[in-house]
């Protein structure tokens, strides 16, 4: 690790993960090895009891054996857009914890994120629901880039109107994981991302072709719901990766290997087709609507006075403001 970063093993997660991958590729192996033999054995077993038990299950001793490891990909650092009280754009729906995108997450997955989310925003939501604090607008320096995703929501309805047997569901889930790992994991580029989107587009069609009409209209198997959700999240991660033409944290673009300072602190907010925001519409910083824009009455206004989710069109990204999910090529609409 000292060859890759001055902090060695304490380097940021994305650096450590890519360093391990680099060694694996250079050696043509499927793993590297973690060596804890220089540390007190009793302390290691006491400090990491769960990992120690897992290792024993595979015939390994945490403290005395070389442990085969491989990097994992943290695909999504965002989540459901909320304000500081856990409110989403859907009235009555709240999001707290790692599912939420509150603005405090960075571009790396950190172990402390869930603790902060649960303690701070969990309490704020509880106090808000109990009426002990006023849900007042609080100025925020948070920025969001609105990306209308012209994705026909009836596609999800079509998938949910059919059912697959357990074997087909598991195979589809494996294929989604494989595509995402191969093209959208630790290192990304435009060609690979477009290939991933193409393969998922074909997978969606195969799902429809292999499925049968759902007999019980009131019940959808949990495993099938999870599969449809996996596909949707995978498609959105790919779109976001194509959109974010820089490298930041776990999002590493081989074709854009440096930071774009204009994107610092910016989040992408996806708006599906059929929402109140139509093509070309955007809300500027502070909630002011441009002459050409129309936002329907009753749109939710979060902290900082922004309408929407919050919805902010970012001029620095004007040439790539909108994308199409599920197609082979990027579809760009100029604002």
pLDDT in tens, 5-54: 999 988 888 889 999 989 998 999 999 999 999 999 999 999 999 999 99
Whether 137 contacts 287, CB under 8 Å: no
Q: Supply the Cα-derived Rg of the chain in whole angstroms.
A: 22
Burial class (CB in 10 A: 0-12, 13-18, 19+), 84: buried
CA distance 300 to 307: 6
**313 vs 115, more confident:** 115
CATH dotted code for 154-237? 1.20.58
The set of catalytic residues is 13
Each residue's pLDDT tens digit, 55-102: 999 999 999 999 999 998 877 777 888 887 888 878 888 988 878 887
**C-alpha to C-alpha distances, 326 to 165, 230, 234, 253, 254, nearest whole angstrom:** 24, 14, 10, 20, 22
Whether the Cβ atoms of residue 103 and residue 142 lie closer than 8 Å to each other = yes
Among candidate residues 177, 195, 185, 192, the one with its CA nearest the CA of residue 70: 185
User: Is the model's pTM score more than 0.75?
Assistant: no
Confidence check: pLDDT of 175 > 70: yes
Q: Domain spans of the chain? A: 80-136, 154-237
Q: How many residues are given for the chain? A: 335
């Amino acid at each position: 690790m000292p060859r890759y970063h001055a902090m060695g093993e304490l380097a940021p997660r994305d650096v450590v993960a890519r360093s391990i991958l680099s060694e694996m590729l250079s050696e043509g192996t499927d793993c590297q090895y973690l060596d804890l033999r220089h540390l007190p054995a009793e302390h290691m077993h006491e400090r990491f009891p769960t990992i120690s038990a897992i290792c024993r299950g595979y015939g390994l001793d945490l403290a005395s054996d070389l442990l085969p490891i491989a990097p994992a990909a943290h695909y999504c650092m965002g989540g459901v857009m909320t304000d500081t009280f856990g409110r989403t754009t859907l009235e009555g729906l709240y999001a707290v914890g790692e599912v939420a995108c509150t603005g405090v997450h960075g571009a790396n997955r950190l172990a402390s994120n869930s603790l902060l989310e649960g303690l701070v925003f969990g309490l704020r939501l509880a106090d808000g629901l109990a009426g002990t604090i006023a849900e007042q607008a609080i100025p925020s320096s948070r920025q969001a880039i609105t990306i209308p995703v012209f994705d026909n929501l009836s596609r999800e309805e079509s998938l949910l109107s059919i059912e697959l047997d357990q074997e087909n569901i598991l195979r589809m889930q494996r294929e989604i994981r494989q595509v995402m790992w191969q093209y959208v994991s630790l290192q990304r580029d435009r060609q690979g991302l477009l290939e991933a989107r193409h393969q998922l587009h074909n997978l969606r069609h195969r799902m429809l072709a292999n499925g049968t009409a759902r007999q019980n209209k009131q019940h959808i198997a949990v495993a099938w719901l999870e599969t449809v959700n996996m596909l949707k999240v995978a498609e959105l991660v790919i779109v976001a990766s194509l959109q974010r033409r820089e490298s930041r944290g776990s999002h590493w673009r081989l074709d854009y290997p440096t930071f774009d300072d204009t994107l610092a602190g910016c989040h992408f907010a996806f708006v599906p087709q059929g929402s109140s925001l139509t093509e070309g519409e955007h809300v500027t910083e502070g909630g002011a609507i441009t002459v050409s824009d129309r936002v329907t009455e009753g749109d939710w206004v979060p902290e900082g006075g922004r309408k929407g989710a919050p919805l902010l069109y970012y001029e620095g990204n004007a040439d790539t403001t909108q994308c199409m999910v599920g197609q082979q090529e990027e579809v760009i609409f100029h604002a």
